[in-house]
Structures are given as C-alpha cells and as structure tokens.
Amino acid sequence: MIGKPHARRLREIYRSAGWPCQDLVEIELLAAGLVERVRAGSGHETLRVTDAGIQVLAATLQGNRAARSDHEALVRQVAREMARAGRVVWTGLSLRAQVPGPTSEDPPQWCIAMPDVFSIRNTTVEAYVEPVVHEIKVRRADLLGDLKKPAKRAAYLDLGGACWYVLGNDAKGRPIGEPDEIPAECGVMMVQGTQLTVVRPAPRRPVERLPFPVWLELAKRTPHAVEGGDQAPLVDLGPAGDPANEGA
C-alpha cells in the first residue's frame, strides 16, 4: 500500500539526484513500479520516478490542495464569526508560548505556537481581552496526529483563556471526529450544514494580561477585516458574556 512515507520519498527522489537509500520504502516503490533504477556510464546507480510515479505525485498534490482549500475556508468562516462577535481576529500567527518540561521537575520550555485563529475582545481594559484559540481540522488523519501532541495543546492553553477544536466534515459530509475524542480542556465546535455549532463549551481560565512578545507580534500583523468594514464596538463591561466562549 502506498502511503504518506512513499509519497514523501517520491517527492524527494523527484527533486534530487535520486541517490538510493536501499531501505524498505525504496523496495516497495521499486516493486510498485513507481521508481526505477538508472545506471550511469560511470557505474553509479540512481533512481528515477517513472510515469506511474508522476501520476501518484500529481494525485497527492491534488489531494493536498483540496485539503488546504477546505482548511482555509473553515479558517475564514471561524475568523468571520469571531469578528462578527465583536472580537479582534488574527490568522497565520507564530507566537511564543510556554509548555511544561519533560518531567514535573524540569522548568517550563518555550516553543512556537501557530494557532489557526487567535482572537481577543475589542476592549481597552487589558484584563478583559480574553484571548481565545481556535484550532481547525478538516481531515481525520490530521486530527488524530494532532491529538497525539499534548505539548501543542499546552501551548495554545498558555496563549488563550480558552481553546477550541473546530471539526469539519469528510467528503461524505460526516464529522471527522467525535466530541469525546477531544481532550476535556478544549471546547468542540462542529460544522452542521453551513453553520458552526457548539457541541461542548471550552473551559475558561482568567488571563489578566498578554505577554509583551504576543502584543508585539499582534502589532506587526493585520487583523482579520470585519465584514462590511464597520469597526466592532468596544466592550469594557467585564469578562462575563463573551460570545467567543459560548460559540460562534
């Protein structure tokens, strides 16, 4: 069966001089006729992607483009809903966050977190900004891989007062995951038709202030535009009743 390791190796061979690795992945690619041996006049042997291998690469590329398109569309939908709720929204950020060390005795470690959607309340009171992270998933394999990374969730929880997983649907319109698969420290939203539905609210924790490096990164990026071009009203009424913590 041709899987992700095989597609990755095909891309590497196609982009390089094709030097053989002589491992199991290479054997399976040779047996499937996706690569072939080429012996140079000097006697050195290299690998070349066959026409059948090119077809596999093209199909993989098309699937990756479709996945990125679905992901980007859901990112835009979540960002739009958060902006409509009166929040200031960013996408495509790279933010420094702290996560626990390998053991309880180790000090916290710094890492780079890249939330799909990051938003704060539109307020002039720093203690009320209530940062929220939305992590978007449109492929089940991507979701399962993500759930195996507790440090990634820890980074999101370090950045935000609440963290949500937003689950899309597969090609047959079925949810890519179930709410009970998502860790309890995160909320769950799912796509139903064209709407985002809150399946499980995200636990909230107070965040009195954002670290200066986060503010600096936000200042360098352009927020998601509010639909219609109108500025969302300022919210200085305190932390209660934030629609981002109740759903889109």
SS3 for 192-225 is: ECCEEEEEECCCCCCCCCCCHHHHHHHHHCCCCC
Which among 197, 177, 186 is positioned nearest to 81, based on CA atoms?
Answer: 197
Q: What distance in Å separates the CA atoms of residue 50 and residue 36, rounded to the nearest whole number?
A: 6
Each residue's pLDDT, cut to its tens digit, for the chain (248 residues) gives: 677 788 889 889 988 888 888 898 999 999 999 999 998 888 889 999 999 989 888 888 777 666 678 899 999 999 999 999 999 999 989 998 988 887 778 888 888 999 999 999 998 888 889 999 999 999 999 999 999 999 999 999 989 889 999 999 988 889 999 999 999 999 999 998 889 999 999 998 888 888 898 999 999 999 987 665 444 443 444 444 454 554 44
Whether the pTM exceeds 0.75: the reply is: no
Cα–Cα distance between 18 and 32 in angstroms, integer? Answer: 17
Residue that has been written with the tokens 């981002």 in this structure? 244
Q: Position 89: which residue type?
A: V
